[in-house]
Each structure stands twice: as structure tokens, then as C-alpha cells.
Structure 1
């Protein structure tokens, strides 16, 4: 992002946890054993493309209640996913509050029982035939994005004897080009599993953890329908949202 004095705001590398974090067991095998090498971009397309404004979006791409229905012709609530209905919304901005318009925001999540629609997910919770767990949308001129979905459930994982992941939604924002893609997770405020999660515990700065928590917004909730959670994405600078290392 640009300002009057310099072209880029330097990224604070101490914001991220160490790649090697034994408490998060899979990081042991995935952490690099040699020093990282900086690679230069090789083409203009890596810096400037693609232009997501030309991306064809389906009418229900950002509506996870509708985009995987077993029978879209069913009327009313028949064939809708099971679970607590929610709205996830927010703005994509830089640290100066400048919006990032027309950029691709993608999200994916487990269903209300805590199970992903993935062949390697062996959790005993059942799949929901009417819920795919993925969505996408483009930000508008002011950087706003919006999804309608089901609140995901927590699930156990093999990091420890009784280790559970808090309910969370994965969010990807593309930025101005494919090479600037950033990925984070949104947790739900007040979830008691957040401080117990070994992945969250690798982040030593409490302020970094706070950037990953969606806040209940009753003003944007729909009475007798669904609650709303606001999750803003700050993509650059001192106040940036915590993003996962690629």
C-alpha cells in the first residue's frame, strides 16, 4: 500500500509465530530446516493480475445456505443446511483505512457438526447433504464483503489426547494479484476454546489473536433469522489482521 513518504509499509515479521512450534505438532515436520530464500517476481502478471472484476460470479456464490442444496427447487426451508444461520461480513482495507475494491474473498469451513466436506476428514460427525462449506464474493467499491452461512462446529484433532479446534471460518483475500493472496481464520468472540487451541497458542501477541476474532453485530443481525459477525481484514501495516504463513 502506498503513502506520501514511501512506496511500501514494511511488514513486521515478529507478528508471526515461529515456524517451528512443538506445541503445534504438525509444524515440526512442516517447518523449514534451512534458511529461507527470497525470490523475485518474474512477470508483470504476478504483480498486476488477474482482474477479478471480470470474474463471473453465480447468484449464490456467497450464500452457503443455497449454493449446495441437494434440490434447489425445494420451497421454503426444505433442503436447507442444518445449524445456526449467521451472516459474516466486513471490509478489506489497508492500515490507513483505504478500501480494497473488486478483490476476491473466499471462505471455507466445517458444517454445524464440525466436519469438512473433504475425503480425508474422518470425524464421526455426519456430512450435511445440503451444505458444501465453501463460498466466494468480490468486495464492492468500499471494500465490503458479505456471506450467509451456518456457524461451524468445533472438532477434535490429533494434536493431543483431547484437543479441539474452536469454531472457525477460513478466509482468503487475494489482494491486487494472485501472488498477494493472504489466508487467515476467523474465530467467534467469547469461544472458550480459543485460548486452549495449540494453533492459537503459537501466536504470542494477544493483539494478533484479537485481529482473528469476529465480533457479534446485532445491528446487522436479522430478527427471527440469523445473527451477524463482523470481521474486517486489514491487509497491510502495523494494524494488519494476523495472516497465516503460506
Structure 2
């Protein structure tokens, strides 16, 4: 694809660096214009991410001797470019809170219980059709102190790598019908309602496995006018 065919995102479809209701952006948003740094051979050529060096971990529920607590779900989708062409071989890292709304991380001080059978992290690679799939537990909501009675909606974090480390995009997947979405400043950091909706997964009965897990589909578009909103 040439630069002439690149279609940038429409205004309002990507979050700004600073979003007043999202308090932590006040400290980390740049106060001056960004400076473009030319890419060198290092940024353009490596490291390469491949299953041989980064073994996939596609079932988050199979990391312990006992099953983790919570509702098992299947998440699947595609990664495509702005023209709908599949992006193959992309490493997708995933991390999330457990069913009680707590991350398996020392920085999480929420008094919800940790689940020794659930690490809340993994990785998958897209196949030749740009498709990915993993099994996990539906994460719980949790308080985050941004404002009075602030709770984050249930969500899963996605990190997508291109052919080199500098080519990394991060986004979040939400669940349909979550009442906390209307109150969440991070979700509403994307001004455009149609773009925000692209962050919400779709329940998929075809993906659901009888007696095992409900299925949710989350398709990711890397750039262009229908691009999935990404964290700045």
C-alpha cells in the first residue's frame, strides 16, 4: 500500500492524549507538539515475533491444576487493514483482570481475591486469514479511583505487534450491554459514538460451544476510516 492510498482516521474516532474526565491523562499527555523521529534499521527490522520464539498461550483457563473461578468465554476475531485485507502472523498479547475484578499484578491493591488458577495473560498469533482465538474468563468490574464511585467496565486489553517492536498498537475490548460503559471516561475518550461502538465485542452464538463457553467476536481494523480506536 502506498502513502497515496492511506486514509487517516476520521476526526473524533481516536482518543486524544488528554481527556479531562480521565484524570491520569493530565499528567502523561504531552504539553508540547510531538517530534517525529526517523526510523532506523533497528526499528524497521526487528525483533521479529514468531510462535517459535514466543509460544502461544491461547487457553487462559488451563494454567493451573484446577479450573479458574468465573464464566469461561471464547473470544475470536480478525485483524485486517483498512481495506479489509487480513493481517497474518500478528502477535496479539492479551491481559485482563480475573472474575473478581483483580489483576495478577503487585500494583493492583483492590481487595478482591486473587485466583491462583488464573494468571490473566496470554498471547496468540493471527493465521493466514488474519484470524485469532483464545479462551479465558470473563473479567469483573473494579473500582479505579478516577472519580467518586468510579468502576471500570469489564474489559480485556489487546496489544498488537507488527513486524518490529516499534509497530505496536494497544486497545481494549468491552462487552455488549454493560451499564458501566455509559459512565466510563476511558471509553468516552473516543468522541465519536460509532467509533466507540467498535470497541464493544459482539455476542456470537456460532462461536459459542454448547455446555462449555459463550462466544464473543472482536474484529480489529488497524488503520483507516473504520480503524479500531487505539490508546494514544
**Corresponding residue number in structure 1 for 2:141:** 154
TM-score using structure 2 length: 0.94
Please report how far the alpha carbon of residue 103 of structure 1 lies from its aligned counterpart in structure 2 after TM superposition: 1.1
The Cα RMSD (Å) is 1.7
2 CA distance for matches of 1:48 and 1:211? 31
**Residue 42 of structure 2 is aligned to residue 55 of structure 1:** no
Please report how far the alpha carbon of residue 176 of structure 1 lies from its aligned counterpart in structure 2 after TM superposition: 2.6
Residue pairs, 1:28-43, within 5 angstroms: 28-43=26-41
**Corresponding residue number in structure 2 for 1:199:** 186
2 CA distance for matches of 1:218 and 1:54? 29
Structure 1 regions of 5+ residues with no counterpart?
Answer: 72-78
2 CA distance for matches of 1:33 and 1:190? 36
2 CA distance for matches of 1:129 and 1:239? 39
Which one scores higher on RCO, CA 8 angstroms, separation ≥ 6?
2
1 CA distance for matches of 2:215 and 2:228? 19
Residue pairs, 1:2-151, within 5 angstroms: 2=1, 6=4, 8-12=6-10, 14-43=12-41, 45-53=42-50, 55-58=52-55, 61-67=57-63, 69=64, 71=65, 79-151=66-138
Structure 2 regions of 5+ residues with no counterpart?
Answer: none
Please report how far the alpha carbon of residue 49 of structure 1 lies from its aligned counterpart in structure 2 after TM superposition: 3.1
Is the Cα contact below 8 Å between 2:12 and 2:191 reproduced in 1? no
Please report how far the alpha carbon of residue 100 of structure 1 lies from its aligned counterpart in structure 2 after TM superposition: 0.6
**Corresponding residue number in structure 2 for 1:75:** none
Residue pairs, 1:227-246, within 5 angstroms: 227-245=214-232
- CA deviation map 1:197-242 (0-9, x unaligned): 0111222100111111110000110011100100011001111111
What secondary structure sits across from 2:201 in the alignment? Answer: strand
- CA deviation map 1:85-122 (0-9, x unaligned): 00011001011111111110110000000000111111
- CA deviation map 1:63-103 (0-9, x unaligned): 10013x1x3xxxxxxx1100000001100101111111111
Q: From the superposition, tell whether residues 137 and 168 of structure 1 become closer, same or farther in structure 2 (CA, over 3 Å).
A: same
1 CA distance for matches of 2:28 and 2:168? 20
